[in-house]
């Protein structure tokens, strides 16, 4: 930062450095006519720099907000990717905090040394005011993300996201509602297609035509004979997948107690090279598996919000306004996949506990 300050003075305020040169300690190598012995009031020079510099309080606040978003996003990615516990999350935040504080102290010490060597008052500019603080301007950022609650509040205030809704399946034996989470597909599609890059990529592939070899979903008869996609060839193709998993140790007597069923989907209009990337796979629903087993074995109530929304997407669709142009999109169900245990509910099968796991249609 000190080096940038020197470079800024030599480039943007050459009329000042031309008058002073070595008296101020700032040498402009592009101006060989500098007078080496001429005296100058260094405080007056710094006031001139402070008045003309573009480094304002507003820009500092903007930089702090940008850094806040980056740190929050970094912490969220680490938490989701590595399933961090609250203790590990707090340790990482504390280490990041210590690193930034150390950097601030280093820059502050370097700036003070520079000002002393050049006989310049360090308090005569916004740069000096920031670097001479006891704590960094980024100090409060880490206090906002050191717990799960604070991290979630920061995400809500700085990022655009779709909040899940809680749906009720039934009341359990204790009289409490057995609920599941549902994330609106329409809202997610609007958010995703609101991104210029994603929208342009999807629109560029709207007129893709099947080829003579099986390379994607649109090359098969399931797509070519689907009445909805025949009528709407530019519709968004949604591919869903149901999967069950244990959030705890799946071995032992408590196996299956914390099993969860999740519904994911992706937009098939994206190039297939993006299909395996986590950021393009979206969560639709999340429910405890024992709730389905006890109250909704055939997933009728569980899948009803999704079915209703898919009907609206297929008939009415939604609009995205960007760059003075309104784009209308409709979407349809392309495929729904699941493993053996996941599919038995939504296709109407029950599992028979015999020597081998078998299924029987009801």
pLDDT of amino acid 315: 95
pLDDT of amino acid 281: 94
Please report how many Cα atoms fall inside a 13 Å half-sphere around the Cα of residue 103, on the Cβ side.
Answer: 11
Q: Mean pLDDT by 10-residue block, N- to C-terminus, for the chain (362 residues)?
A: 57 51 41 40 46 56 87 89 87 92 88 83 69 83 88 87 91 85 96 93 83 82 90 94 83 78 94 89 94 89 95 95 91 89 60 50 50
DSSP 191-232: HHHTSHHHHHHHHHTTT----SS--SGGGSHHHHT-HHHHH-
Q: If you ran DSSP here, which 8-state letter would residue 23 be given?
A: G
DSSP 251-305: SSTTTTTTEEEEEEEEETTS-GGGTTSGGG-EEEEEEEHHHHHHH-TT-HHHHHH
pLDDT of amino acid 19: 45
């Amino acid at each position: 930062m000190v080096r940038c300050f020197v470079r800024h003075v030599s480039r943007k305020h050459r009329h000042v450095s031309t008058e002073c040169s070595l008296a101020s300690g700032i040498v402009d190598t592009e101006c060989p006519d500098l007078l080496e012995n001429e005296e100058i009031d260094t405080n007056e020079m710094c006031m001139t720099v402070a008045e003309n510099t573009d480094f304002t309080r507003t820009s500092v606040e903007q930089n702090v907000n940008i850094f806040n978003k980056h740190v929050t996003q970094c912490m969220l990615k680490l938490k989701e990717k590595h399933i961090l516990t609250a203790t590990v999350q707090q340790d990482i935040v504390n280490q990041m905090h210590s690193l930034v504080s150390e950097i601030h102290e280093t820059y502050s010490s370097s700036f003070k040394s520079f000002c002393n060597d050049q006989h310049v008052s360090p308090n005569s500019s916004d740069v000096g005011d920031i670097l001479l603080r006891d704590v960094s301007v980024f100090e409060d950022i880490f206090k906002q993300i050191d717990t799960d609650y604070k991290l979630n509040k920061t995400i809500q205030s700085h990022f655009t996201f779709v909040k899940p809704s809680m749906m009720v399946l039934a009341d359990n034996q204790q009289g409490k509602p057995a609920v599941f989470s549902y994330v609106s597909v329409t809202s997610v599609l609007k958010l995703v297609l609101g991104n210029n890059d994603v929208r342009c990529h999807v629109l560029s592939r709207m007129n893709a035509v099947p080829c003579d070899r099986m390379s994607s979903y649109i090359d098969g008869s399931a797509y070519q004979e689907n009445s909805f996609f025949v009528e709407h060839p530019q519709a968004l193709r949604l591919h869903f997948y149901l999967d069950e998993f244990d959030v705890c140790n799946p071995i032992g007597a408590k196996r299956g107690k914390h099993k969860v069923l999740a519904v994911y989907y992706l937009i098939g209009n994206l190039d297939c090279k993006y299909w395996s990337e986590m950021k393009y796979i979206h969560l639709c629903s999340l429910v405890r598996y024992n709730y389905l087993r006890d109250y909704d074995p055939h997933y009728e109530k569980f899948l009803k919000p999704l079915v209703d929304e898919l009907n609206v997407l297929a008939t009415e669709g939604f609009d995205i306004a960007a760059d003075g142009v309104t784009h209308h999109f409709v979407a349809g169900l392309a495929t729904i996949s699941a493993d053996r245990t996941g599919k038995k509910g939504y296709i109407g099968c029950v599992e028979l506990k015999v020597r081998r796991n078998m299924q029987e249609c009801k």
